[in-house]
Structure 1
Amino acid sequence: MSTEILSVTTRDTAGGARVVAAAGELDHDSVLVLRDAVEAAWTDGRDHVVVDLTLVTFCDSAGLSLFVEAHRRAQARNGAFHLAAPGDAVRHVLEATNLGRYLSIHPSLDDALRA
């Protein structure tokens, strides 16, 4: 899946998690691509979803809203939603909004998968 500014790939791990890797800018115009991938994970029966943010260079309020919504939905289904490896720009936004205290954020993909 892709738009002009954000591309998303997915893969399932042997442990049953779905990794959703995003690359590019996450904003109002591109958030649906990532939202659809997260929704597809739950539709496919995956309760452990990790969004790999390694290659995300920008995140606005639309992306933050998606993270909060996904976190709440995962909790409601007794699942898990983790963010992995946010770069400096994304980490700054998460910290500035105090979402780092609310969401499950990990320094690496491996750490997120072990959580």
Structure 2
Amino acid sequence: MQATVTDTPSDVAVLRLSGELDADTASDLHKLLAELLERPVPRIVVDLSDLKFCDSVGLSAFITAKQVIAARGGWMSFAGGNRFLVSLLGTVGLSRYFAIFPDVDDAIAAAQM
């Protein structure tokens, strides 16, 4: 898995993931999320458009981060997931806890409403 973080003018961090998020790469995601969670009010859009695969270990990183984000009054949403990932998020019930948008721009626009 490769990851980059881009800050937007609206103070939203876009975390772009590519490749495969699994047991071998989840620790990298945990580190990145830990840095983002240091912000006073974490606002994160996870761009899944180039992520090809995610297993349960990867999903658990998002669940753990969600608890910290909620406690700090922030939010995390997903954008651009392929059919497999959107289906996976729905199957495991994460679509009830995270907003899922077609693309990053839609996710950022929804946050500003």
- Where does residue 55 of structure 2 map in the other structure? 60
Runs of 4 or more above 4 Å deviation: none
Give the deviation of 1:19 after TM superposition: 0.9
1:67-100 deviation line (CA, Å, top 9, x unaligned): 2112221111001111111111211211211211
- Where does residue 3 of structure 1 map in the other structure? none
TM-score (norm 1): 0.87
Give the deviation of 1:45 after TM superposition: 4.1
Out of 72, 78, 89, the residue aligned to residue 73 of structure 2 is 78
Distance 1:44 1:102 in 2: 21
Matching of residue 98 in structure 1 with residue 81 in structure 2: no
Paired positions, count: 110
- Where does residue 10 of structure 1 map in the other structure? 5
Residue identity opposite 2:100 in structure 1: I
- Where does residue 41 of structure 1 map in the other structure? 36
Is the partner of 2:68 in helix, strand or coil? helix
Distance 1:49 1:57 in 2: 20
Distance 2:6 2:20 in 1: 20
Distance 2:80 2:102 in 1: 5
Distance 1:78 1:42 in 2: 11
Matching of residue 21 in structure 1 with residue 7 in structure 2: no
Residue identity opposite 1:59 in structure 2: C
Percent identity at matched positions? 34
Give the deviation of 1:46 after TM superposition: 5.3
TM-score (norm 2): 0.88
Distance 1:85 1:41 in 2: 20
